Chains A and B, each alone.
Chain A
Amino acid sequence: MKSCLLCGVGGQGTVLASRIIAAAAMGKGLFARTAETIGMAQRGGSVVSHVRVGASVPSPLIPNGGADVLLGFEPGEVLRNLRYLKEGGTVITCPETVAPVTASLGGTAYDGGAILAYLREHLEKAAVLDTAAIVAVCGSPRVVNMALLGALAESGEMGLTLSEIETAMAKKIRPRFLDMNKKALELGAKTLSEKR
């Protein structure tokens, strides 16, 4: 069984990304489960999607220390969910922080730089993806989730190849956005491979 936790802020596209991972796993005959945050909590709040694939998956939620990989749409949300990561597990995150409104109002501190530094220092397998560059090439901030999926494929942590993820993605994206998302997938994979 392989498990991936996707974490971010409501509206960033975590649900679509988790469905694509599950569909890619099903495409190669594996059983898949996901669990997502839907409803009130998704309006700009913390969201997580659990994805578990394998021959048998008893429950949709990943237990503490059960995630092979954490896919971060926002570094603070990675930090919030680190307890899910296996010892020696992989973190792939985009570096762009989103300050919670509570922090903007001045009630609390939110130091994105310190969070990234902490992740880099404490995790042997942390990859911070230059998603801004990928967004610039692809021309839309909406492709961040695909860039992360590309990097996930490249990491090999879920046992899914880039072409398996691409096939699953193509069934869930409207045709006119397909090229852009495909590009983001490839750039995500390439960026991670260059980091290694």
Chain B
Amino acid sequence: MLELLMGNEAVALGAIAAGVRVVSGYPGTPSTEVLETIAKRNPGFVHVEWSVNEKAGLEVAAGAAYAGARSLVTMKQVGLNVASDPLMCVNYIGVKGGMVVYVADDPGPISSQTEQDTRHFGRYARIPVFDCSSPEEAFAMTMEAFDFSEKEGVPVILRSTTRVCHSCASVDVPEPKAPERAPGFEKDPRWVIFPRLSFESKKRLFAAEKTYAETFSGYGRNEIIGGGRIGIACGGVSFAYVMDAIRGHEEDYTVFKVATPYPFPAEKAASFLAGVEKVYVFEELDPVIEDALTMLRPAVPLFGKRDGTVPAAGELSADIVGSILGTAKAAPPFNEDAPFLPPRPPVLCAGCPHRASFYAVKQAMKGKKAIFCGDIGCYTLGNAAPLDMVDTCLCMGAGITVAQGLYHAGEEGQTFAFVGDSTFFASGITGVINAVYNKADLILVVLDNHTTAMTGHQPHPGLGITVMNEPTQVIDIASVLKGCGVASVRTADPFDRAAAEDAVKAAAAEEGVRAIIFRSPCVALEKGGTPLAVDAETCVGCGKCIRQLGCPALRKNGEKTAIDPALCVGCGLCQSVCPKGCIGKEEQ
């Protein structure tokens, strides 16, 4: 049936069509919808789970593949760092069932810390990388990746980027068929990594690089298109931009589309290079294809990122490609006398409990020196004015440990570490144990909004529900903290301002590792409450609510302040801040 599928949905349905039996992963933009789609479209034969983090997910997938089942693990590019420990070993071991590691890269970056390029990881780990250029290709390539993996007995990486993950296309999807039963796990020394085995494996991996490169030169998706004198090498979504940019000029170009950046299809590349006078390389993130071509010592000049022809960072587009090739039309010029337009960065939602939690800590610590270590999630947005409550942010779980480093370096003032509930489970717990064991002094603030909000509300171990909506054991955050030896654990509702600030003050009066859990559900999961309104008679237009909170529902209306009823959910935080008491429920 023809369906409009997002790239991530196409990967999911491709995996189901390939007979995947076990799917694991951790949410992360732009990868999340793969696993969600598998859960939604589960034909009944797939075990699917949100793992506690990417490392756990990759190991679960490896175990399943040892048993001969086809397995898929999904993550974003920085998630692969968390999973790199098993990744860098499972290559040496190999698999029995096909195993696909799906990694979504994020050029820009749009929703990530870095512009990390997974193609390097493939080369580093000597794991073949399939790189898809569109949703429809992603569907077919997922099945091909499984076939290759199973045939060769090696895990493979399927890589995509945001504009493939989150773009939709018409894709023809067949009815899923249940796979044959997996052959099962057979005890064998090959599953136990030891130096002797690794020595042999390394030789095998090295030799495979060459054979796979030859195989991939014959892989239909590594394609040479056209016969013009100017060469263009590209891969992933850049291929789409190139085809858009050369429309109407096709006869001038020969396009080399690279679908397997590792091992690089050298033979195919050589035949491409032999037919052109010069080569442009268009790829996002790092110059991986460019460097692979350079290794072949081409006789023709190469233009790409290394010589500055192509921008070093950020997304590409048909416009950028076209302006480099000289095929682009100039942008219409009529923006010059336009009214000033301020940027519109993302903000914490109206009614977001994180705003209340940050505000409580800020008020309780007013006039005292403090450092606020942030983490990864919606609450990273707490760094913006006027809250200004994120002094550091590095990677998942790092707030807790960076705070310890600041303390041990002798920084004066109280160190705080803010962490969301899902991030706490993913990679916060080891940091807490480290703090207790090594006698740090910090206040851990767990922002428990009962979900993984930023990536679109996935369940996690604290909620008692699985991705398949089955009830399961609740892992209680307070009990975990107590079990880790945290000196004091307080729980408060951040919207109860007095209780929230008291909890912070009480914790600040203590020493050692103490924790506050601010519990209040994500506003996007709740049915919106009655909006509040400003009484225009009594409002003096002081703007304190706006300046203190930066809530998107609050705005200036002439001399007064107004509340947008379409955004306000009636959380009441501004009501507690207003010095004139002029915010309340609108009188009917």
Query: Which residue of the partner chain A has the closest CB to B347?
Result: A44
- Bound-state CA distance A105–B555 (Å) is 8
Query: Which residue of the partner chain B has the closest CB to A1?
Result: B247
The one of A41, A99, A109 that contacts B555, using a Cβ cutoff of 8 Å? A99
Determine whether B209 belongs to the interface, using a CB cutoff of 8 Å to chain A: no
- Bound-state CA distance A76–B340 (Å) is 10
Chain A, residues 90-113, CB within 8 Å of chain B (1/0): the string is 000000001111111111111100
- Contacts A45-B347, A61-B317, A64-B329 given; does A39 touch B110 at CB 8 Å: yes
Determine whether A158 belongs to the interface, using a CB cutoff of 8 Å to chain B: no
Determine whether B338 belongs to the interface, using a CB cutoff of 8 Å to chain A: yes
Are A39 and B30 in contact (CB-based, < 8 A)? yes
Chain B, residues 174-207, CB within 8 Å of chain A (1/0): the string is 0000000000000000000000000000000000
- Inter-chain contacts of A108 with B (CB < 8 A): 340, 342
Are B331 and A64 in contact (CB-based, < 8 A)? yes
- Inter-chain contacts of A109 with B (CB < 8 A): 340, 342
- Bound-state CA distance A36–B339 (Å) is 26
Are A100 and B342 in contact (CB-based, < 8 A)? yes
- Inter-chain contacts of B134 with A (CB < 8 A): 60
Determine whether A80 belongs to the interface, using a CB cutoff of 8 Å to chain B: yes
Determine whether B348 belongs to the interface, using a CB cutoff of 8 Å to chain A: yes
Are B339 and A105 in contact (CB-based, < 8 A)? no
- Inter-chain contacts of A23 with B (CB < 8 A): 4
Could you tell me the distance in whole angstroms from the C-beta of A61 to the nearest C-beta in chain B?
6
- Contacts A40-B454, A45-B346, A45-B347 given; does A79 touch B338 at CB 8 Å: yes
Chain A, residues 41-60, CB within 8 Å of chain B (1/0): the string is 11111100010000000111
Chain B, residues 462-484, CB within 8 Å of chain A (1/0): the string is 00000000000000000000000
Are B29 and A39 in contact (CB-based, < 8 A)? yes
The one of A33, A37, A65, A79 that contacts B341, using a Cβ cutoff of 8 Å? A79
- Inter-chain contacts of A141 with B (CB < 8 A): 566
- Inter-chain contacts of B240 with A (CB < 8 A): 58-60
Query: Which residue of the partner chain B has the closest CB to A89?
Result: B332
- Inter-chain contacts of A37 with B (CB < 8 A): 110, 166
Q: Within B18-60, which residues are at the interface with A (CB < 8 Å)?
A: 29-30
- Contacts A58-B240, A100-B342 given; does A41 touch B110 at CB 8 Å: yes
- Inter-chain contacts of A110 with B (CB < 8 A): 341-342
Are A105 and B546 in contact (CB-based, < 8 A)? yes
Judged by DSSP, the binding face of A is mixed
Are B454 and A31 in contact (CB-based, < 8 A)? no
The one of B332, B340, B344 that contacts A82, using a Cβ cutoff of 8 Å? B332
Are A63 and B318 in contact (CB-based, < 8 A)? yes
Determine whether A83 belongs to the interface, using a CB cutoff of 8 Å to chain B: yes
- Inter-chain contacts of A85 with B (CB < 8 A): 332
- Inter-chain contacts of A65 with B (CB < 8 A): 329, 331-332
Query: Which residue of the partner chain A has the closest CB to B335?
Result: A82
Chain B, residues 550-588, CB within 8 Å of chain A (1/0): the string is 111011100000001010000000000000000000000
Q: State the total of A-B contacts with C-beta under 8 angstroms.
A: 178
- Contacts A58-B243, A59-B241 given; does A101 touch B334 at CB 8 Å: no
- Contacts A22-B4, A45-B346 given; does A34 touch B378 at CB 8 Å: no
Could you tell me the distance in whole angstroms from the C-beta of A140 to the nearest C-beta in chain B?
10
Determine whether B169 belongs to the interface, using a CB cutoff of 8 Å to chain A: yes
- Bound-state CA distance A42–B30 (Å) is 13
Determine whether B87 belongs to the interface, using a CB cutoff of 8 Å to chain A: no
- Contacts A42-B346, A103-B342 given; does A63 touch B335 at CB 8 Å: no
Determine whether A114 belongs to the interface, using a CB cutoff of 8 Å to chain B: yes
- Bound-state CA distance A118–B244 (Å) is 31
The one of A10, A82, A99 that contacts B346, using a Cβ cutoff of 8 Å? A10
- Inter-chain contacts of B241 with A (CB < 8 A): 59, 61
Are A33 and B344 in contact (CB-based, < 8 A)? no
- Bound-state CA distance A101–B549 (Å) is 10
Determine whether A19 belongs to the interface, using a CB cutoff of 8 Å to chain B: yes
- Inter-chain contacts of A35 with B (CB < 8 A): 163, 166-168
Determine whether B353 belongs to the interface, using a CB cutoff of 8 Å to chain A: no
Are A40 and B555 in contact (CB-based, < 8 A)? no
- Contacts A23-B4, A40-B29, A64-B329 given; does A33 touch B169 at CB 8 Å: yes
Are B170 and A32 in contact (CB-based, < 8 A)? yes
Of the listed residues B170, B340, B555, the one surrounded by the most CB atoms of chain A closer than 10 A to its CB is B170
- Bound-state CA distance A137–B188 (Å) is 72
Are A102 and B344 in contact (CB-based, < 8 A)? yes
- Bound-state CA distance A101–B168 (Å) is 31
The one of B111, B322, B347, B564 that contacts A39, using a Cβ cutoff of 8 Å? B111
Determine whether A196 belongs to the interface, using a CB cutoff of 8 Å to chain B: no
- Contacts A101-B552, A118-B338 given; does A83 touch B331 at CB 8 Å: yes
- Inter-chain contacts of A173 with B (CB < 8 A): none
- Inter-chain contacts of A98 with B (CB < 8 A): 564
Chain B, residues 326-357, CB within 8 Å of chain A (1/0): the string is 00110110110111111111111100000000
- Inter-chain contacts of B170 with A (CB < 8 A): 26, 31-32
Query: Which residue of the partner chain B has the closest CB to A114?
Result: B339
- Inter-chain contacts of B348 with A (CB < 8 A): 43-44
Determine whether A38 belongs to the interface, using a CB cutoff of 8 Å to chain B: yes
- Inter-chain contacts of A40 with B (CB < 8 A): 29, 110-111, 346, 378, 381, 454
- Contacts A26-B2, A35-B166, A100-B342 given; does A83 touch B552 at CB 8 Å: no
Of the listed residues B328, B339, B347, B456, the one surrounded by the most CB atoms of chain A closer than 10 A to its CB is B339
Chain A, residues 115-136, CB within 8 Å of chain B (1/0): the string is 1001000100000000000000
Determine whether B542 belongs to the interface, using a CB cutoff of 8 Å to chain A: no
- Bound-state CA distance A111–B339 (Å) is 8
- Bound-state CA distance A181–B581 (Å) is 39
Q: Which 3 A-B pairs have the closest CB atoms?
A: A39-B29, A59-B240, A45-B346
17 contacts between A and B (CB under 8 A): A31-B169, A33-B169, A39-B110, A39-B454, A40-B111, A41-B346, A43-B378, A44-B349, A45-B346, A60-B134, A65-B329, A79-B339, A83-B335, A101-B384, A104-B554, A105-B385, A105-B550
Interface residues of A (CB under 8 A from B): 9-11, 19, 22-23, 26, 31-46, 50, 58-61, 63-65, 76-77, 79-80, 82-83, 85, 87, 98-111, 114-115, 118, 122, 141
Give 5 A-B pairs besides A34-B4, A36-B168, A60-B167 with Cβ atoms closer than 8 angstroms.
A33-B168, A38-B29, A65-B329, A103-B342, A106-B547
